Structure 1
Amino acid sequence: MPDPATDLAHAMAGAYNAGDMERVIALASQAGDTADEGIQLLLGLAQQATARYGMAARTFRQLAQRRPDVSAYWNNLGVACRMSGDLAAAEQALSTAMSLAPGDADVLYNLGLLHIQQRRWPVAREILLEAVDRAPDVIEARLQAAFACYVCGDSTGQEAMLAGAGDWPGQPGEQALVLSTMLMAQGDPDAALRALARAQLPGGPAGESLRLRITAQRVLLHERNNQLDQARREREQLPLDALEALPPEAGQARADAWRAHAAMAMRAGAHAEAAALYRRALALADDDQTRASVAFALASACDRQGQYGEAWQALEAAHAAQLEIAGGVLPELLAPDSQPLQMAEVDRAAFARWEPLPSPDSRQSPVFVVGFPRSGTTLLEQMLDAHPDFRSMDERAFIHALTERMEQVGQRYPADLATLTGTETDQLRAAYFRMVGRVLPALGRHRLVDKNPLNMLCLPMIMRLFPQARIILCLRHPCDVLLSCSMQPFRSPAFMVLCSSLQRLARGYVQAFEHWYRQVEAFRPHVLEWRYESVVGDLEGHLARLGAFLDIADPTPMTRFAEHARNKRFISTPSYAQVTRGIHPGAVNRWHHYREHFEPVLPLLRPLVDRLGYTL
């Protein structure tokens, strides 16, 4: 005799395989409370596929209670609970699934997504990286792992997860937006645009909303790459009157489009228009990352109009949002006495015990451009890059990566620099140039410019590998530096904390320079001080001095740095727009507009201000 339960299960399986989830759910109702395990499983999967997450959670909870030894049931229960908003139940279910199947990549992936939703970024990063290690070809896991690395400031991990992402198949619209943001952050604008071009959009209003957001993202990408004509053409697809007519549920699309219009208004000098748009976008921001980004942009627009009180209020909102982000990544840094900047020293006596080792001469060594962020390092980098003898690689933390490499193999940095052998230093230099080669495969005989401001804190590594290197320390009035840092949306969680208040930032600035001068006293490196204000007043004279320091026969090509910067596809730092305009004195003494906020930190800064030859 035919078995009705078997016939029902077969009918449901057929409907499920055909993608007809509504029929699966309708058929399951015929089984009543006596449904067997297979029928319940198909029902739960169909409920999940049709976004009936509460119902799916009840179904999978029944299955998990029926068969508590089956990891897949707990895993699906965790997914359904997460999607329905019951995060505590989701964590309990996924933890049970993990205990039953410790290495299951699917469970790891879902647990990582849960931690992202909980904003537990470091844990999410670890678990998702493990999921990728178990299933390296699963693109969804790689993308989410990359995003967790992105939020945690782990650029190395992010780039590893996104290796080959330019050739990935199209992603759903939301993921495509995230992917393009990360690809742009790591300096691959072409791949970022391809990710948007391949985005898979649903039909109906949801698809139209995503289309508008993707168009807005393209505007921002082109503007970020100094491709203003392309940005304007994309902006034409976002008429402001059409944005006003969007339904209330399209708020995210409206806000993204307003931000795109505002960015272009800033480029055109229409700062009041930009500020109005940023204010509207800020009112709709519903997460800390968006809130911080828009508030920083609003502060800049207000500053350009001379509305310094409003600018400072926007900065306070931006830093409050960034502090929330950083607190989820590095909560230990929120302590008032924490030290966000990593500093490791070698004193003169310890340096005297270093074994002399063979090393490259100055022309075979990189030219290191260092200094506190926002001191003019990008401007100098573009000057050098404009010269045919040099190639810069944008801002890379390769020297810092070498310190981490030592730690990973059990060597203490910087103490064990003293006992490195010639072979070991050769290996470290080779690792450095391999990283460089991935960014500048055609470096050839050109001299490398390694511009990373905080390499000023890595002098021991530089002096061990490249003791003959020329190092240029960029200087600018400390208060202008601190103001500029305060106005930038740094991605590093440590820098988010450092810049969260002028008091903390001033203390970190002073500590960084005190560290630098102690290390310079110990190592006596070849250093040229490059003072921003002096360059503004006498560019040609300072380029001649720079040419002599670097043994450049003809430094005149460096005067064309602004044109050179305009022709580059990508400049990673916040100065990407400023350097295309050439030298301008408007950045000198900006801090006076905010002097009332600086008064409490001036006593802390005064000794260093005096040492650097500035005045208050």
Structure 2
Amino acid sequence: MIRDPRASDDREGRILGLLEDARSQIDNGQPDAALPLLEEAVRLAPTSGDAHCELGRALNNLRRLPQARAVLEEATRLSPCSAIAWNRLGHVCRALGDPDSAEPAFRRAVDLAPDFPAALANLASAHLARGDAETGVGLLQRAVKADPGDPGTRAKLGDALQGLGRLNEADSAYREALSIDPAHVPALAGLGALLSALGKYRPAEETLRRALEAQPADSVAIASLAHVLELQGRNQEVLSLIENAPWTRPPEWAVVTTARQLLRLGHREAAAARLDGLDQTSMDWRSRTAALNLRGRILEADGDYDSAFLAFRDANRVRPSEFSPEEFTATVDRLIRFFTRDRLATLPGAGCSSDRPVFIVGMPRSGSSLVEQILASHTRVHACGERTDLYALPRRLAGGAPADRWPECLAGADTGTLVQAALAYLEAEVTPGPGTSRSTDKLPANFLNLGLIQLLFPRARVIYCRRDPLDVGLSCFQQDFQSPGMSFARDLGHIGLYQQGCRRLMRHWNEVLDLQMHTVDYEDLVAGPEREARRLVRFVGLEWEDRCLQFHESDRVVRTASHEQVRRPIYASSVGRWRRYARWLGPLRMALDAPWPDRIAPAGR
């Protein structure tokens, strides 16, 4: 039988027409109209990778994700060299909560098309999601180079740089995106969050309101603006912002935020009623954690400490802890073994003569925000809050493999690298006030990095904040910390271990380092605020100013969990709080008293 070639041509023309019409429908936001066209195309061309790829795209846009995944897997089988199909498959796998399948798909797309901007950006997001920020930034920079006219990629680059603490670079990325599209909402939202992080609350608010003018229902911009207002104690304005937002139904985070403002305004029953209206079984983990944590605060305010503790415990159980007791103890021991006095004498240094940096370290919730706020009230001090750039430096110096190479890589480091790192840290200090001669960095976990700090800044000063370990442990357990580095705080036993490691390492640093160090005990600061404040100011090498005792009147906004407390004069009610919860703190006590080397991760959740 002889086939008519015109029939084959007509068939191919029909398929191409279906695909073209379907793409147009999807581009116009009508994937439902495209779906029957694509199903017909697949029926006519069951071995066409292009037809399957477009059908997978339509199903994804219709949120029929399992079907989309199956179709796109078939597309990659039929067209294994299609970067578009692999990229779309990765996108669907990520939406299905399967990052382990998404990342290889994105990587395959980039291998096939090294200058494919969307695939580069998606692979970057996969690296960022698992904490490999440096690689993520590099991929996003490649994506920007591949498509310099796309503001969206520049905004994503800004977000990644901001997460790394490279704030000046992030600022440039956002502003470059806005030079392309002045109304680009993700860039405006990112820039607003950045300005907030820099303490520039008025321009942050203005920028976020510009984003909402362009897109009034953008939840990221609303959430960022609510955060800016909340940090400043403008609780009623937060309520108004959320209540007037043009959404059909407020998202769960907005309900929790509303309840938190009501509690701060003294309306405990109204706050509890808002939480009662939430279906916690369907909530995402962030909102559920926040809701349970807030429930605990309401119960604590009512004096029901047993029920409050159970709520805090449930909040910490929502997500598993990434904290590894074995890795933490190994890290502490490794630092102690490496940074001996003899070894320090042989290591290269930056030769930096600056005495500007003041590092405030210790356990979270040990009074570090209060110490910084006292110093920040001095006219010669610029308070930088919790900077993350130095904390991220060990990973960079170790070539992205700190578990394998840190801190031993310092033995082979060249002086130029350390000089560059020290200068970069000093230059990254954003908008220091005129006439200031000291800048504070109060990231508590820098107690792990004091050996590195001596190599970079031998004239730096260190303030070590201490507090009753039971009060510290309870307070950490009651916080809704979001940072992965704070995951130890979800388990009482892990908190006790972390405190032991902090104390152990600080004893070691005091024995081997030449850095100037000053210890502040929270209880002493509460009992004698003027005496301890004067000692602090004298330690950082400045003349006393009476305004340091009026720190609570400062309009400086604190971005940490202590942002409410530092707006009030020093109070003693937080001393001995653990006694209200004593019956629940057995795992914390056991971990604090256990011998350091012989421990198994305690189950204190």
Q: TM-score range by the shorter chain?
A: 0.7 to 0.9
Conserved? CA contact 2:359–2:441, under 8 Å: yes
The 5-angstrom pairing of residues 160-239 of structure 1 reads: 164-165=173-174, 168=178, 169=181, 190-191=203-204, 194-195=207-208, 197-198=210-211, 210=217, 218-228=225-235, 230-231=237-238, 233-234=240-241, 237=244
Residue in 1 that maps onto 2:517: 527
Residue in 2 that maps onto 1:301: 298
Pair 1:403-2:390 in alignment: no
Counterpart Cα distance in 1 of 2:244 and 2:424: 46
Pair 1:371-2:362 in alignment: yes
Residue in 2 that maps onto 1:493: 484
List per-residue Cα deviations over 1:151-175 (Å, max 9, x = no partner): xxx63479966753366455679x9
* Aligned partner of residue 391 in structure 1, secondary structure: strand
Counterpart Cα distance in 1 of 2:443 and 2:114: 41
Larger deviation: 576-585 or 393-402?
A: 393-402
Conserved? CA contact 1:16–1:46, under 8 Å: no
Pair 1:337-2:326 in alignment: yes
Conserved? CA contact 2:211–2:221, under 8 Å: no
Residue in 1 that maps onto 2:601: none
Pair 1:291-2:299 in alignment: no
Counterpart Cα distance in 1 of 2:49 and 2:409: 61
Residue in 1 that maps onto 2:508: 518
Conserved? CA contact 1:213–1:256, under 8 Å: no
The change in CA–CA distance for 1:279 and 1:182 in structure 2 (over 3 A counts) is farther
* Aligned partner of residue 441 in structure 2, secondary structure: strand
Q: What is the aligned counterpart of 1:538 among 528, 531, 534?
A: 528
Pair 1:278-2:285 in alignment: no
- Give the drift of 1:376: 0.7
- Give the drift of 1:39: 9.2
List per-residue Cα deviations over 1:551-601 (Å, max 9, x = no partner): 43333120121111xx12x42211111101121111111111111122344
The change in CA–CA distance for 1:524 and 1:407 in structure 2 (over 3 A counts) is same
Conserved? CA contact 1:295–1:317, under 8 Å: yes
Residue in 2 that maps onto 1:311: 308
Q: What is the aligned counterpart of 1:452 among 430, 443, 447?
A: 443
Tell me the amino acid that sits aligned with residue 577 of structure 2. Answer: R
Alignment size in residue pairs = 568
- Give the drift of 1:227: 3.3
- Give the drift of 1:430: 1.2
List per-residue Cα deviations over 1:50-79 (Å, max 9, x = no partner): 627577678767765655544434544565
Counterpart Cα distance in 2 of 1:263 and 1:129: 35
Residue in 2 that maps onto 1:44: 55
List per-residue Cα deviations over 1:66-94 (Å, max 9, x = no partner): 55544434544565677689999978876
Residue in 2 that maps onto 1:470: 461
Tell me the amino acid that sits aligned with residue 337 of structure 1. Answer: E
The change in CA–CA distance for 1:13 and 1:382 in structure 2 (over 3 A counts) is same
* Aligned partner of residue 574 in structure 1, secondary structure: coil
Conserved? CA contact 1:429–1:465, under 8 Å: yes
Counterpart Cα distance in 2 of 1:410 and 1:52: 38
Counterpart Cα distance in 2 of 1:282 and 1:520: 51
Counterpart Cα distance in 2 of 1:356 and 1:85: 45
Conserved? CA contact 2:39–2:55, under 8 Å: no
- Give the drift of 1:307: 1.7
Counterpart Cα distance in 1 of 2:314 and 2:521: 32
Counterpart Cα distance in 2 of 1:30 and 1:78: 25
Normalising by structure 1, report the TM-score.
0.75
Conserved? CA contact 2:168–2:428, under 8 Å: no
Conserved? CA contact 1:105–1:131, under 8 Å: no
Counterpart Cα distance in 1 of 2:100 and 2:106: 10
Q: What is the aligned counterpart of 1:505 among 489, 495, 511?
A: 495
Conserved? CA contact 1:391–1:443, under 8 Å: no
The change in CA–CA distance for 1:314 and 1:171 in structure 2 (over 3 A counts) is farther
Residue in 2 that maps onto 1:259: 256
Tell me the amino acid that sits aligned with residue 370 of structure 2. Answer: L
List per-residue Cα deviations over 1:513-561 (Å, max 9, x = no partner): 1111121012254222222222222222222333333343333120121
Conserved? CA contact 2:374–2:533, under 8 Å: no
Pair 1:586-2:573 in alignment: yes
Pair 1:394-2:381 in alignment: no
Q: What is the aligned counterpart of 2:340 among 334, 343, 347?
A: 347
Same amino acid, percent of matched pairs: 24
The change in CA–CA distance for 1:271 and 1:161 in structure 2 (over 3 A counts) is same
Task: Supply the RMSD in Å over aligned alpha carbons.
Answer: 4.7
Counterpart Cα distance in 2 of 1:88 and 1:449: 40
The change in CA–CA distance for 1:4 and 1:340 in structure 2 (over 3 A counts) is farther
- Give the drift of 1:499: 1.5
Tell me the amino acid that sits aligned with residue 563 of structure 2. Answer: Y
Q: What is the aligned counterpart of 2:420 among 427, 436, 455?
A: 427
Pair 1:72-2:63 in alignment: no
Conserved? CA contact 1:282–1:295, under 8 Å: no
Larger deviation: 60-69 or 480-489?
A: 60-69
Residue in 1 that maps onto 2:118: 106
The change in CA–CA distance for 1:201 and 1:595 in structure 2 (over 3 A counts) is same
Tell me the amino acid that sits aligned with residue 296 of structure 1. Answer: N
The 5-angstrom pairing of residues 81-96 of structure 1 reads: none
Counterpart Cα distance in 1 of 2:81 and 2:414: 55
The change in CA–CA distance for 1:285 and 1:590 in structure 2 (over 3 A counts) is farther
Residue in 2 that maps onto 1:132: 140
Residue in 1 that maps onto 2:265: 268
- Give the drift of 1:144: 6.1
- Give the drift of 1:277: 2.7
Tell me the amino acid that sits aligned with residue 309 of structure 1. Answer: D
Conserved? CA contact 1:146–1:157, under 8 Å: no
The change in CA–CA distance for 1:298 and 1:160 in structure 2 (over 3 A counts) is farther
Conserved? CA contact 1:143–1:162, under 8 Å: no
Counterpart Cα distance in 2 of 1:516 and 1:543: 22
Runs of at least 5 residues in structure 2 that lack an aligned partner in the other structure: 1-5, 596-605
The change in CA–CA distance for 1:341 and 1:559 in structure 2 (over 3 A counts) is farther
Pair 1:440-2:431 in alignment: yes
Conserved? CA contact 1:220–1:263, under 8 Å: no
Residue in 2 that maps onto 1:576: 563
- Give the drift of 1:474: 1.7
List per-residue Cα deviations over 1:266-315 (Å, max 9, x = no partner): 22233343344335446265222222222222222322222211221122
The change in CA–CA distance for 1:195 and 1:421 in structure 2 (over 3 A counts) is same
List per-residue Cα deviations over 1:336-378 (Å, max 9, x = no partner): 53417954232233345568985537xx332222221111111
Tell me the amino acid that sits aligned with residue 535 of structure 1. Answer: L
Residue in 1 that maps onto 2:545: 555
Conserved? CA contact 1:142–1:162, under 8 Å: no
- Give the drift of 1:391: 0.9
Larger deviation: 511-520 or 543-552?
A: 543-552
- Give the drift of 1:140: 4.5
Counterpart Cα distance in 2 of 1:404 and 1:88: 23
Counterpart Cα distance in 2 of 1:296 and 1:187: 26
